[in-house]
């Protein structure tokens, strides 16, 4: 048999039902779609009127809403470009054929210029069938004196007839379904319902949207009533205006408008992206952290997405990484790959380009705030610093841009904070690494025996106290300005210079020989808790401390993994003892006298427990420790 070609057959009623009930998750968006279409029509008439004086209109380009609660109708009217009888058939009588899309094709072919149009799929009009069972469209093309009326009940057929209209434009009349018959539907003849929908979805449409409402001149005379047009949208899309023309008061009012946060923001950032992809953004850094900031999945994201001033979504998570989830504001793009209902983004290159630009600009502005007003930046850091450092966990981010913004406590700053850049500037010429400690609090870290040698040598150590610090500092060895980060509690550390090392080498070997027996005895007593006991080069006043070996997890990360229910590999630290401490010297004398003296084993347990407590840890058997301390007190008191 020869190959035959057939067209797919579609049952129009079923296709329409599927589209109406599957595309949109919220019935209110029907009004957004119809207002967007009206706005497009106004833009087209304005643009084409630049070259054809016959299309110009002295009347203000306006979208009007008229609601009749008794007749159960809602009218959406505009004085835009309008449609001919043939265009009504093409645009409304053919599902998924968009007049906007056809116009954009002409633009690409050089046959027309590009006004700001957003409808591309040709299905937005049919959203009205979510709330209406009959629709009438009366339209008159600008430049023509003949109007036409298109009617349908969504059953798969429509009628077309001549009509009359006062002038060019389009009037859509929706015969609304019964509110009582559908729990998910609002009363779209109610003034406040219409106000809230327009405020949410179309507040920044460039043309005025007006609602005709009935006002009583005298409350005591119900018969005395007049129809009044009231504005519904603000049209104050201040992100489209040059920053120099917007006052600080306006920036503040807009922040409150979109966030409902009455605290003044710390910073606002206006930026635009031009070239292949065009977008404008107005971003804000709040001054107070929201209560859900650390509930990453539940946290409210503050980036609202618009396409040519028409609201698309309230929380566009794709436009900001998690570590900048505190940023609020709006992004208005010229063109994005939305799904057909315009409620979700498709994965596309423009989104990634816009996101990259917003991240870069936000970090740049934070850096500028840091250099120009450090006090204000430190207030920001107190609220959002831990979240910002989450960016150091990712592999796709340029970590230096975030490290430039990091502050931490240090052994030289008291209660104050220092930036990494300032720390590096203060480093000694022969210092090869950025030394740090991470732990639960500055107070615990400041008292750590690990810092004794650093203080003796005058070497500053950074103190990181946020839970995220343990992770990013150990996830992969970071560097900053060519200097690696090194934990003061990891491995062996020798702060001596080359001359001192040569002088101390012979002394160190001698001490290891002298104390070798005692170290073995101590290890035998605590071998279940430590992997090694050795002499310390970092202790000057304390008797002992615990040190992690290269590659070992920190106690904080171990605790986090266990809390998350993950299996943690067994890790034993290294116990370092100070050969110059009176206790260790006395133990050495006891060992030389009697290597099996029970006081050696008891002291080993106490030295280990003391080291655990000094770093803020918890003892596995506090009762046994208390008993040993009580015995020592009893003996010392006679």
Instruction: Give, in order, the Cα–Cα distances in Å from 478 to each of 80, 306, 484.
Output: 59, 38, 6
Give residue-wise pLDDT tens across range 557-614: 766 666 667 777 778 899 999 999 999 999 999 999 998 898 899 899 999 999 988 8
Contact 142, 45 (CB under 8 A): yes
Contact 292, 299 (CB under 8 A): yes
Mean pLDDT, range 290-301, rounded to an integer: 70
Give residue-wise pLDDT tens across range 159-209: 999 999 999 999 999 999 887 655 557 889 999 999 999 998 899 888 999
Chain-centroid distance, C-alpha 129: 36
Q: Which residues contact 368 (CB under 8 A, 6 or more apart)?
A: none
Instruction: Identify which has the larger pLDDT, 139 or 316.
Output: 139
Mean pLDDT, range 3-18, rounded to an integer: 54
pLDDT category, 357, cuts 50, 70, 90?
Answer: very high
What is the model's pLDDT at position 266?
93
Mean pLDDT, range 267-280, rounded to an integer: 88
What is the model's pLDDT at position 538?
87
Q: In 3-state terms, what secondary structure has residue 370?
A: helix
Counting residues of the chain whose pLDDT is more than 70, the rounded percentage is 80
Which of 260, 275, 264, 362 has the alpha carbon at shortest distance from 319?
A: 362
Domains of the chain from N-terminus onward: 12-231 (3.30.565.10), 238-376 (3.30.230.80), 406-487 (3.40.50.11260), 498-636 (1.20.120.790)
Mean pLDDT, range 10-31, rounded to an integer: 65
What is the model's pLDDT at position 492?
80
What is the model's pLDDT at position 119?
43
What is the model's pLDDT at position 373?
95
What is the model's pLDDT at position 498?
62
Give residue-wise pLDDT tens across range 404-434: 999 999 998 888 899 999 999 999 888 889 9
- Rounded to two decimals, what is the model's pTM? 0.76
Task: Say if residue 6's pLDDT is above 60.
Answer: no
pLDDT category, 127, cuts 50, 70, 90?
Answer: confident
Query: Please, what is the average pLDDT of the chain?
Result: 82
Give residue-wise pLDDT tens across range 360-377: 999 999 999 999 999 999
Task: Say if residue 381's pLDDT is above 90.
Answer: yes
What is the model's pLDDT at position 9?
44
CA angle 255, 343, 23 (to 5 degrees): 155
Q: In 3-state terms, what secondary structure has residue 32?
A: helix
DSSP H or E stretch at residue 529: none
Contact 313, 319 (CB under 8 A): no
- The whole-angstrom separation of Cα 616 and Cα 470 is 15
Mean pLDDT, range 508-520, rounded to an integer: 87
Mean pLDDT, range 548-554, rounded to an integer: 74
Number of residues in the chain: 638
pLDDT category, 344, cuts 50, 70, 90?
Answer: very low
Task: Say if residue 216's pLDDT is above 80.
Answer: no
pLDDT category, 115, cuts 50, 70, 90?
Answer: very low
What is the model's pLDDT at position 414?
80
């Amino acid at each position: 048999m020869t190959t035959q070609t057939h067209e797919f057959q579609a049952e129009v009623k079923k296709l329409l039902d599927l589209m109406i009930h599957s595309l949109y998750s919220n019935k209110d968006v029907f009004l957004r779609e119809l207002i967007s279409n009206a706005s497009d029509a106004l833009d087209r008439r304005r643009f084409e009127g630049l070259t054809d004086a016959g299309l110009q209109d002295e009347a203000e380009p306006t979208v009007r809403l008229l609601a009749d609660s008794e007749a159960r109708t809602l009218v959406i009217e505009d004085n835009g470009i309008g449609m001919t009888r043939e265009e009504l058939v093409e645009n409304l009588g053919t599902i998924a054929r968009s007049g906007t899309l056809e116009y954009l094709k002409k633009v690409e072919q050089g046959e027309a210029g590009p006004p700001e149009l957003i409808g591309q799929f040709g299905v937005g009009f049919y959203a009205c069938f979510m709330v209406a069972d009959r629709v009438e469209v009366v339209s008159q093309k600008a430049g023509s004196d003949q109007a036409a009326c298109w009617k349908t009940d969504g059953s798969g057929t429509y009628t077309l007839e001549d009509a009359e209209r006062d002038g060019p434009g389009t009037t859509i009349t929706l015969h609304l379904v019964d509110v009582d018959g559908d729990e998910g539907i609002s009363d779209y003849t109610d003034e406040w319902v219409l106000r809230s929908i327009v405020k949410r979805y179309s507040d920044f449409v460039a043309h005025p949207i007006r609602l005709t409402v009935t006002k009583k001149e005298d409350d005591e005379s119900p018969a005395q009533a007049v129809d009044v047009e009231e504005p519904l949208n603000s049209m104050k899309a201040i992100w489209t205006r040059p920053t120099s023309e917007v006052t600080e008061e306006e920036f503040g009012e807009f922040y409150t408008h979109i966030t409902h946060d009455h605290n003044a923001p710390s910073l606002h950032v206006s930026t635009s992206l031009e070239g292949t992809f065009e977008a404008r953004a107005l971003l804000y850094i709040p001054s107070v952290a929201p209560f859900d900031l650390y509930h990453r999945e539940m946290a409210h994201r503050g980036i609202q997405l618009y396409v040519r001033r028409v609201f698309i979504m309230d929380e566009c998570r794709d436009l900001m990484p998690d570590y900048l989830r505190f940023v609020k504001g709006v992004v208005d793009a010229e063109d994005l790959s939305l799904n057909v209902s315009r409620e979700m983004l498709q994965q596309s290159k423009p989104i990634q380009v816009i996101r990259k630009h917003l991240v870069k600009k936000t970090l740049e502005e934070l850096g500028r705030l840091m250099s120009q007003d450090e006090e204000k930046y430190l207030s920001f850091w107190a609220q959002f610093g831990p979240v910002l450092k989450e960016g150091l966990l990712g592999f796709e981010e340029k970590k230096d841009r975030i490290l430039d913004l990091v502050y931490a406590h240090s052994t030289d700053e008291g209660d104050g904070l220092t930036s990494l850049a300032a720390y590096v500037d203060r480093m000694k010429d022969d210092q090869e690494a950025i030394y740090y400690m991470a732990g639960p609090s500055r107070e615990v870290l400041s008292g750590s025996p690990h810092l004794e040698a650093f203080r003796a040598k005058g070497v500053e150590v950074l103190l990181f106290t946020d839970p995220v610090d343990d992770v990013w500092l150990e996830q992969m060895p970071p560097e900053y300005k060519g200097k690696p980060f090194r934990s003061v509690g990891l491995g062996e550390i020798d702060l001596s210079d080359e001359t001192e090392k040569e002088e101390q080498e012979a002394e160190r070997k001698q001490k290891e020989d002298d104390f070798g027996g005692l170290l073995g005895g101590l290890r035998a007593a605590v071998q279940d808790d430590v992997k090694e006991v050795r002499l310390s080069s970092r202790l000057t006043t304390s008797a002992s401390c615990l040190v992690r070996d290269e590659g070992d997890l920190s106690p904080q990360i171990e605790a986090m993994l266990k809390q998350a229910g993950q299996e943690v590999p067994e890790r034993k630290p290294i116990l370092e003892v100070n050969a110059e401490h009176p206790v260790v010297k006395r133990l050495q004398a006891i060992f030389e006298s009697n290597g099996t003296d029970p006081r050696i084993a008891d002291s080993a347990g106490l030295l280990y427990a003391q080291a655990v407590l000094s770093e803020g840890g918890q003892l596995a058997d506090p009762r046994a420790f208390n008993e040993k301390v009580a015995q020592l007190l009893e003996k010392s008191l006679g």
